[in-house]
Structure 1
């Protein structure tokens, strides 16, 4: 405790590790304490005791073995394993992990089951793996920060009633975002859902989690009492008519977090916070003096307005999304933010195409391409080509859509080779996004082989934490299986999406699931479709029709 403020999780862990090491404990002994106190698996604990994030662990690895580089994703997969979504480390990688953490390979695998008790020579009392602590029914050892946050959201502590209502407190939660990796949080949510055995219990738990996450999402703006020491507390405007650069900087810094929050927690949970920050940015834009400060403030307002429009799009409120996009485009033009204008026009094209108006989508995409040519950003040119592909595909223009795909691929290669910093809103656009659009095009014009190859590439290299994009890519694959009349696998894939998006489903994902399910009506009496309907009813409330 410091000055009456509770320690953050990271501070608790740092202090405990220092105390244990000062007392002469080894890294393995310290990790055992962390496993017990913070409910970590050994691979997580051996990293956390050193105060390393997954990115820092990858950096340390790459310094030792530059010819076998790893990213934070590799550590994430190893730490989630043996849960679904994780990958087991190879023997060589286990040996290097052990060297990195100064432990034995067995220490890294201490959470795996032991079957020594099956040996007739073993005493009758079952033997458990040393150091493994029994968990709550339906739970699994998972990465630390995200798991602790989820327990706080659900009001669940060891030995707590599984049906206890959420006990999330905004005052504590809004100080946590800097400790939580959104990709890790997404993986933890998915793992929890897959381990809760009973559909009704799962639905109840997810209902509580959704409500609690909504509280957490709005928390940064629920207790605004002016500037605080917290790095994540949003400042209030003591005088809305006064320009405050710190307030504007805070609004700008929040945008990448809000975008990722929308990908993981869903549009509905994120929209209230995005709108609140948009209001702050609007006040700053009105108060800013003419010149660079004003242009900067207007551009920040434009980007937050586009973000709010995107979230409304995903909730199915297309009218409000269009209104916000129009406002965002006007503001971006006023700020002379050409690359932002390009991005907003691209999202307007996407909205029109999704609504069944591909020719309007083509118009917006053409305007986006024209503005993109005035920028130095290969991302702007690539994404403008991407939305052009989707609009042309929806308008049944096969040859022209293939030409746009070629333009997108060329711009993508330039973007991947570009070493200069890119604007934060391009965080979602990478090679996997190109292959997902390629799959959409193949679904319209080509055979199963190209569809499967494109979806396989998109899923293999995609960000596992972006549940929104991953869900759509899985649905492309499900549609391909349905076209092949491989109904069992199509149903399994759709069920995976329904399960994956139990917490963060959006109206657009719901619409695609409904559309694909209607396409399976000729097989509605088969076991595969009946099991799909059961999954939909278990995870969706009210059930889809």
Structure 2
């Protein structure tokens, strides 16, 4: 697994590189930095580019030597509007915008005084001329998206892949449309357009199941949170369920924007809810969305971001008095801790997940908590300086046995089944394969991995890929290098479908373990396959 960033600088270096690799603009990265690290816009854009103040000064002075900038002057601009800062001039913002590749207006916070307009609360006056941009209605956005087909072509997996491509083009159309007239809109109207844009995006795989009335209801409650009702919350829950299933197939990049939008929407709806039962339901939903964002960031390799959202999810679950959600969040948090190199924290979270699952009376969540607990104990065994190996070995086996008993005791009406929908005998058997690998029992690992992969559905491409990786690692432990390369090649093919950075990193780690055999023919052929999928390969063919 990749090393955990040791400093904030390393974390931001990796984050910028990762977001740029996945097509993010500088403005999108800067917006993320402002939210994630509470930077103001000027510093947010600088940090997004990973520029030091000295670097910005150097770039400025190369372009405009007759009006030299100093680090002290730039620092004062970035400190504004605090008492220690100075307000940057418009000319300075224009020049910084050229360096940061954005609009000058993006570099400052602006207040919205539109509410002071006498006509702000009323309908626009009827005219024979063009409609002002600030008066655009919910359906006007569709004119910007008219070139998109009403339904994606094909069916099955082909249709899902086509949808992902359509979604990218749809997003580009929407950004261009909003940018075109956002400056002339009052903030409340801009929020209305953003909330209702989905109604015109007929190609969206996450909204295709909602009818016009449902979309209109979502747009309405997003503008007026006090109107939220159970049906509207149900629509958001449905969108989240579809996003979760889509991520199983296409990976985290395909749905992260949707999850973040749902997170913002639910937080907004919570501001206008008076009904206590509805508020608890919304808090549980917020916990689930936060957990899902944590899972997406985990699979994207952003462990610090995942930690943040899992913490948000736990707080929301506790506020909602939701025992089952508390267990589910802690179980996934345990998985993150173990994967990122802290298996003892993984054990701690797994024990908390087990306690809440028992309190909530869900055998399947009890089983899942024991599953991640077994991974954590195996992770402790994997560490070279591990002590009490016999005890951890026994605890790992005990947790696996308890997980199997929990699954056998789970009925269709298990209250936690909708959360742990993915967890069943096949997934547990795959965990057993991983644990046998960490316990240096390759034959048992091969048997479990093969058994699991016969039952894992094709929709779980990431899990299938991990199955092949476990087989490859097991054959490597047995020094059967040809078979190990065959399994890694199969994992690479699945990784090309689900470009989860965590899966990519695991594939690279498995390939690195085969480095002693770099010059052999199986490794040369494997590296050719890896390069064809744009995955990290060794250096065997370049020596």
Q: TM-score, normalised by structure 2?
A: 0.60
Structure 2 equivalent of residue 440 of structure 1: 434
Query: How many Å separate the matches in 2 of 1:475 and 1:309?
Result: 24
Deviations 1:178-237 (A, max 9, x none): x96xxx418x88xxxxxxxxxxxxxxxx9x996545457999978335999964365324
Query: How many Å separate the matches in 1 of 2:147 and 2:241?
Result: 21
Choose from 236, 240, 245 the match for 2:219. Answer: 236
Structure 2 equivalent of residue 43 of structure 1: none
DSSP-derived class of the 1:316 partner: coil
Deviations 1:282-321 (A, max 9, x none): 2122222141011001111110111111001100111111
DSSP-derived class of the 1:232 partner: coil
Structure 2 equivalent of residue 49 of structure 1: none
Query: How many Å separate the matches in 2 of 1:230 and 1:445?
Result: 47
Structure 2 equivalent of residue 266 of structure 1: 251
Structure 2 equivalent of residue 495 of structure 1: 489
Whether contact under 8 Å (2:293, 2:306) holds in the other structure is: yes
Whether contact under 8 Å (1:537, 1:544) holds in the other structure is: no
Q: Confirm whether residue 342 of structure 1 aligns to residue 352 of structure 2.
A: no
Q: Confirm whether residue 323 of structure 1 aligns to residue 323 of structure 2.
A: no
1:436 positional shift: 0.7
Deviations 1:33-69 (A, max 9, x none): xxxxxxxxxxxxxxxxxxxxxxxxxxxxxxxxxxxxx
Query: How many Å separate the matches in 2 of 1:170 and 1:309?
Result: 35
Query: How many Å separate the matches in 2 of 1:519 and 1:486?
Result: 13
Counterparts of residues 36-185 of structure 1 (less than 5 Å)? 171-172=148-149, 184-185=156-157
Structure 2 equivalent of residue 296 of structure 1: 281
Structure 2 equivalent of residue 283 of structure 1: 268
Query: How many Å separate the matches in 1 of 2:393 and 2:219?
Result: 52
Whether contact under 8 Å (1:379, 1:426) holds in the other structure is: yes
Structure 1 equivalent of residue 234 of structure 2: 249
DSSP-derived class of the 1:223 partner: helix
Query: How many Å separate the matches in 2 of 1:539 and 1:379?
Result: 37
DSSP-derived class of the 2:421 partner: helix
Structure 1 equivalent of residue 115 of structure 2: none
Structure 2 equivalent of residue 537 of structure 1: 531
Query: How many Å separate the matches in 2 of 1:277 and 1:322?
Result: 19
Query: How many Å separate the matches in 2 of 1:217 and 1:444?
Result: 43
Cα 1:541–1:469, aligned 2, differ >3 Å: closer, same or farther? closer
Structure 2 equivalent of residue 408 of structure 1: 403
Whether contact under 8 Å (1:264, 1:468) holds in the other structure is: yes
Unaligned 5+ segments in structure 1 are 1-167, 190-205
Whether contact under 8 Å (1:260, 1:466) holds in the other structure is: no
Query: How many Å separate the matches in 1 of 2:271 and 2:309?
Result: 18
Query: How many Å separate the matches in 2 of 1:372 and 1:534?
Result: 46
Query: How many Å separate the matches in 1 of 2:291 and 2:471?
Result: 29
Q: Confirm whether residue 478 of structure 1 aligns to residue 472 of structure 2.
A: yes
Query: How many Å separate the matches in 1 of 2:470 and 2:477?
Result: 11
Query: How many Å separate the matches in 2 of 1:215 and 1:494?
Result: 33
Structure 1 equivalent of residue 112 of structure 2: none
Whether contact under 8 Å (2:259, 2:292) holds in the other structure is: yes
Structure 2 equivalent of residue 223 of structure 1: 197
Query: How many Å separate the matches in 1 of 2:149 and 2:416?
Result: 33
Structure 2 equivalent of residue 309 of structure 1: 294
Aligned pairs, how many? Answer: 354
Deviations 1:84-105 (A, max 9, x none): xxxxxxxxxxxxxxxxxxxxxx
Whether contact under 8 Å (1:285, 1:301) holds in the other structure is: no
Cα 1:541–1:349, aligned 2, differ >3 Å: closer, same or farther? closer
Query: How many Å separate the matches in 2 of 1:530 and 1:400?
Result: 40
Query: How many Å separate the matches in 1 of 2:242 and 2:256?
Result: 13
Whether contact under 8 Å (1:302, 1:328) holds in the other structure is: yes
Unaligned 5+ segments in structure 2 are 1-144, 175-193, 382-391
Q: Confirm whether residue 381 of structure 1 aligns to residue 366 of structure 2.
A: yes
Choose from 371, 379, 398 the match for 2:356. Answer: 371
1:543 positional shift: 6.4
Query: How many Å separate the matches in 2 of 1:265 and 1:486?
Result: 32
Structure with the larger RCO, 1 or 2 (CA within 8 Å, 6+ apart)? 1
Cα 1:345–1:170, aligned 2, differ >3 Å: closer, same or farther? farther
Query: How many Å separate the matches in 2 of 1:541 and 1:335?
Result: 43
1:172 positional shift: 3.7
Cα 1:333–1:243, aligned 2, differ >3 Å: closer, same or farther? farther
DSSP-derived class of the 1:442 partner: helix
Greater shift in the superposed pair: 439-448 or 531-540:
439-448
1:369 positional shift: 0.9
Query: How many Å separate the matches in 2 of 1:427 and 1:217?
Result: 30
Whether contact under 8 Å (2:367, 2:403) holds in the other structure is: yes
Whether contact under 8 Å (1:221, 1:276) holds in the other structure is: no
Whether contact under 8 Å (1:266, 1:504) holds in the other structure is: yes
Whether contact under 8 Å (2:453, 2:464) holds in the other structure is: yes
